[in-house]
Chain A
Amino acid sequence: MNTNKQASTTSSSLPLKGVGGSMSWKGVWAHRGQNAFIFVEILLTATLSFFALDAIVVETYNIYIARASGEFEKEHLLVGEVNNTTALSGDMSPDSIFAPIYALRDHVQSLPEVQSVSLVNEVFGGRYQSSEWDSVRTETDRSCLIAYEHTFVSGEHFFETLGLMPAPGSPSAEELSEVRGEDNVVITRSLAQALFGTEKVIGRRLVWGGKYHREEDKKHLTVCGVVEDVKAIESQRYFYSIFFPKGLWDNSPFMLIRLKPDADARAFLARYDMPNLRPQEGAYQLMTLETYNDYKKNHSMLSNAHMVSTMFGLFLGILLLNVMLGTLGSFWLQIRKRTEDIGIMRSFGAKRRDIFRMIWQEAALLTFVACVIGQAIWLQFAMNDLLFMGGKHGALEHETDWVAQFWPHFFTVCGIQLLLMLLVVTLGITIPTLIAMYRKPVEALRHE
C-alpha cells in the first residue's frame, strides 16, 4: 500500500520536474516565433502605459488613501443658500441689508434640532470654494510650501459648526471662530509642522504669497490658531491650509447648519426643505437646504484629478484589453498545437494543475521579462521629471512620503504594473489552458 502510494507520487511528480524555471525558459524559447509578438506587445504596453498607470495610482492614493486626521463629521451638517425672495427697497446700507440675514441665522439657530449655525461666503470644499493656492513660508526661511486658502466669516461659529477640531495647545473652536483682522490666520497642524517643526506656533509669523504671484501681493500674517488636518480638495495629499477671517461679501451667503448628534438630518430636511416651509426672515429665505454630502455631490464639478484618472483609466483599459486579447489568441493557438504534448504529459501522470502551472509559468516569465524591460525603458523618461506628482501639492523637495521620493514611487508603480499585467495575462491564458487541461489524454493524443 505504502509502496503503491510512493510509486504513484513518483509517477505524478515526474512531469513536475520539468515545470521548473529552466523548463519555462525552454518552453518560451521553443515557441519564440509566436511568443515574440506577445512579448513585444507586453513590452510596448508596459512602456506606454506607465505614465497613465502612474497617474491613476497617485490620484487614487490622493483621493482614497491619503486621509486627513481631523476630518469632520458630515452626517449632521447641512448647507443652505440664503437669498432674497422679493426685491429689496428702502435703506440699502450694509447694516440694513445684512440685518434680516442675521435674524434668519438666529431663527435657524433657535430650532430645537440645531446645534450651531454659521454664515459663510463659500462652502468649504463646495462649488463656490475658491480653493486658491499660493506659496507660504516663515519670515526667516526662504524656502516655500504651497498651501490652500480658505475663508471664514469672523464671529460666525465657523470652526465649531463645520466641526474642525483645534490642535492641542491651540485656542478652542469657539475662540478661533472669533479671530478677526486681515493679518490673523488659522492654519492646519501639518502646515505648522512643515513650516515651524512644531504645532505650538501661536503668535508665530509667516509670509503668504509672493513666489508665484506679484511681489506686492505678499502678506505678513500672524498665526492665531491651529486646527487638525482637513481635506478641502479631494485630491489633496498634503493638508496645508490657511483660514483667513473675512466679513460677509454680499447678501447671498451660505448657511452651514450643524444638527445635534441625536437629530435626524433626513427628518429635519423633510420638515423644512419645502419652499413654503423653509425658514424665512423679512425678504430673506433659505432658498435651498441639503446635507453637506448632497451639496458637494450635486454642486461640485468633477475635479481634474477625477478626470485625469478617468481618461488615463480608459487609455490603460484599452491597452490591457489588447494585451488580454493578444494573450488569449496567441496562447490559444499555441496550446492547440501543443495538444499532443499535453496528452503525453497527462498519460504519464501529470495532473491538471501541473499543465496549468506549466503554461502559466511560461506566460508569467514572458510577462515579467517584457514588463521589466518596458519599465527600464520608461525609467529614462521618469528620470527626466516624468513621474506623475498630481498637481500643486506642498513642496515636493521637502516631502518624505513615497509619492515625493523617486525610487519608492517608481518601484511602487512598477510593482503594481507587474501585478496588473500578470493578472491580465493570467485571464488571457485561462480559457485556452482550461480547455487543454480538461481534454482527455486519449483525445489529446489523437489530436491532429
Chain B
Amino acid sequence: MDIISFLKDNLLPSLQGRGWGWVSHSCALVRADKLFSTIYVAGTAVAIASAMVVAIFVNILLADIPPESNRSRTLYLTSYYRKASMSNGEWLYTEFSTEAIDSCFRRMECVEAVAGFMSYLYYLDYKVSDMDGQHELPVTFTPTNPDFFRLYDFTFLSGRPFSEQEFQNGEPVCVITERLAKSLGLTPNPSPAGEGQNQQPTPLSHGRGAGGEALLLADKPFRIVGVVKTVSYMLMNAAADVYIPYKVEGIGLHPERQTNIPYSGNLDVHILLRKGFTQQDFMRELEPWRQRYEAVASSQTGEETGWRVWADSHFFRYITFFYSRGQEESTTLKVMNLMPIALLMLLFLLLPAVNLSGLVSNRMEARRAEMGIRKVFGAKRRWLLQEVINENLVLTLLGGAAGWLLSWLFISLMRHTREFQTLFVSEDSKSFELSLDPAMFFTPTLFLVCFLCCAVLNLMAALIPAWRSLRKPIVESLNQKR
C-alpha cells in the first residue's frame, strides 16, 4: 500500500510529464521494431534476474519469514569462559546450561522468550518409525524448550506445542512436521478454533489401529502433541522434522556439560527481545548479571573465573563483511555491510547497461531525423530526453517483470542441487527439503528493489546515448539519411 501511494504521489506525476502519450508511443515503438524490443527485453531480463537472485537470496537470509517471523527481534548468543587453571588462561568457547537460561536470561526485563535448544545437526543419524516399528525414516530433530515455539511462529495444523509442565517433567512428547506425519501415514486432525494449550490433544489419526498419536524415536516412544506446517531448511534456525523437550532422558541428550562452570552447557540460546529493545539494551542489562556471575563463580571455585557473552542480531549473524563478533552494532555498520551486496547488484546491472546503451544508441541513430523535426517544431531537448527515457522504461519494466520471474525460476530449479543446499545446510543429508514460500519472493521490499533496479538500469542504459543524439545540431539531424 505504501509503495502504491509513493508511486502515485511522487513518481507517476513526473512520468506523466505532458500526458500519457508516451505510453502508447512506446507500445507503438515496441511493435514497430520487434527485433530491437526482443533483444532489449532479453538483455534487461538477464540483468534484472541476476540482480534479483542476489536480492532474493538476501531476503531469504534476513527477512521475517514465517516461522522465523521475529528475526528483527532475535539475538543469537555466544559464550566464552576462562579459568586461571585451564588452557593458560585462554578464553574457551562454550554453549549454555539450563541454569544460564533460568537464572539469568529469563530474568532480564528486555527479554520476552529464551529458546534453548540443541542443534539438529548433531543428531543427523537418528531414525523414527511408527509404533509398529514400520516406516523407519531418517530425521533431524531439535531438542528444545517451550519458548522455542514463542520465538518461532510455527503454523500448527493440529495440536499444540509441548507445555512447560511436560518439558519440566521430561515427558516424551513431540511436535512433528506435516511432511513427517504424512511419511508415517498419519493424517493431522484440524484443531478446533480457539483450542488452548491445556486441551487434550488429538492431533493425528490413521486407519491402522492404536498408536496413531505416537512414534518411536531412537527406539523410545514419543507422544505426538502437535503437527506443524513443514519448515523449509532455508530457514535454518527453525527447521527440523521433530521437536522434543531436551529434558527427555534415555535417548542420549546431554544439555548439561560435566564441568564445574555452572553456565556452561550444550545448549544454543536464541533470545526474543521485547518490542522496543535493542541488542545494546540487552548487553547493557546483561553486564551486571555477568559481573555477578563472575564474582560468585570465582568465590565458589576459588580461582578467577571469567564469562563473556556476545549477542549478534539476526542481520549481523549472517552479513559480516565488515563486522567482527562483539563489535557494537549500528545502522551505519549495517549500511556498510550491505554495500558489497549492493555493489554486486550494481555490477550485474552495469554491464548489461553498457550493452543496452549500445542498442539505444543504434535506435537513436535511426530516429535522429524524427528528433530533428520535433526540435524544429519547438520541442525542448529536456522534453525529448524525458520522453526517450520514459519510452525506454516501458521496455525495461517488461524486462524487469520477465527478470523477476526468471530469478524465481532459477532459484526454484537450483534448490534441488547440492550446491544450493550447501549454502543453507552445512551437513549432507538426503532428508533436507528446501521448499519455497511465496514470502521469500513476492514481498513489497523485493518489488521496490526490482523497480529500483529497473529504474537505475533504464537511466544507465538510455541517458547517455539519448543525450548524445539529442545534442546533435538540428540541420545535421534532418540531413541524416533515415
Excluding A310-B419, A319-B351, A322-B46, 14 further A-B contacts by CB distance (< 8 Å) are A33-B365, A34-B358, A37-B355, A37-B358, A41-B355, A45-B351, A48-B347, A301-B427, A322-B43, A325-B42, A326-B358, A330-B359, A333-B363, A336-B35
Q: Given A322-B43, A325-B46, are A301 and B361 neighbors across the interface (CB < 8 Å)? A: no
B47 at the interface (CB under 8 A from A): yes
Which of B350, B352, B362, B426 is in CB contact (< 8 Å) with A333?
Answer: B362
B274 at the interface (CB under 8 A from A): no
Asked whether B355 lies within 8 Å of A38 as measured between CB atoms, the reply is: yes
Asked whether A33 lies within 8 Å of B361 as measured between CB atoms, the reply is: yes
In the bound assembly, the distance between CA atoms of A107 and B448 in angstroms comes to 67
In the bound assembly, the distance between CA atoms of A439 and B357 in angstroms comes to 28
Asked whether B354 lies within 8 Å of A40 as measured between CB atoms, the reply is: yes
Question: Which B residues lie within 8 Å of A300 (CB)?
Answer: 428
B8 at the interface (CB under 8 A from A): no
Question: Which B residues lie within 8 Å of A321 (CB)?
Answer: 46
Which residue in chain B gives the minimum CB-CB distance to A300? B428
A220 at the interface (CB under 8 A from B): no
| Minimal beta-carbon separation of A338 from chain B (angstroms) | 12
In the bound assembly, the distance between CA atoms of A63 and B46 in angstroms comes to 30
Q: Given A321-B46, A325-B46, are A301 and B422 neighbors across the interface (CB < 8 Å)? A: yes
B40 at the interface (CB under 8 A from A): yes
15 cross-chain CB contacts under 8 A: A33-B361, A34-B358, A48-B347, A300-B428, A301-B427, A301-B428, A319-B351, A326-B43, A326-B352, A326-B354, A329-B43, A330-B355, A330-B359, A332-B35, A333-B359
A306 at the interface (CB under 8 A from B): yes
Asked whether B351 lies within 8 Å of A302 as measured between CB atoms, the reply is: no
Number of A-B contacts (CB under 8 A): 84
Residues of B that sit less than 8 Å from A by CB? 35-36, 39-40, 42-43, 46-47, 50, 347-348, 350-352, 354-355, 357-359, 361-363, 365, 418-419, 422, 426-428, 482
Which of B352, B427, B428, B482 is in CB contact (< 8 Å) with A322?
Answer: B352
Q: Given A322-B352, A332-B35, are A306 and B419 neighbors across the interface (CB < 8 Å)? A: yes
In the bound assembly, the distance between CA atoms of A114 and B236 in angstroms comes to 44
Which residue in chain A gives the minimum CB-CB distance to B362? A333
Most chain B beta carbons < 10 A, residue from A36, A310, A321, A326: A326
Q: Given A322-B46, A325-B42, are A302 and B355 neighbors across the interface (CB < 8 Å)? A: no
Q: Given A329-B40, A332-B39, are A307 and B351 neighbors across the interface (CB < 8 Å)? A: no
| Minimal beta-carbon separation of B379 from chain A (angstroms) | 23
Q: Given A127-B428, A302-B418, A306-B419, are A325 and B358 neighbors across the interface (CB < 8 Å)? A: no
Asked whether B39 lies within 8 Å of A322 as measured between CB atoms, the reply is: no
Asked whether B422 lies within 8 Å of A325 as measured between CB atoms, the reply is: no
In the bound assembly, the distance between CA atoms of A334 and B363 in angstroms comes to 10
| Minimal beta-carbon separation of A80 from chain B (angstroms) | 15
Asked whether B419 lies within 8 Å of A326 as measured between CB atoms, the reply is: no
Asked whether B361 lies within 8 Å of A329 as measured between CB atoms, the reply is: no
| Minimal beta-carbon separation of A28 from chain B (angstroms) | 14
In the bound assembly, the distance between CA atoms of A319 and B348 in angstroms comes to 8
CB within 8 Å of B: which A40-66 residues: 40-41, 44-45, 48
Asked whether B36 lies within 8 Å of A333 as measured between CB atoms, the reply is: yes
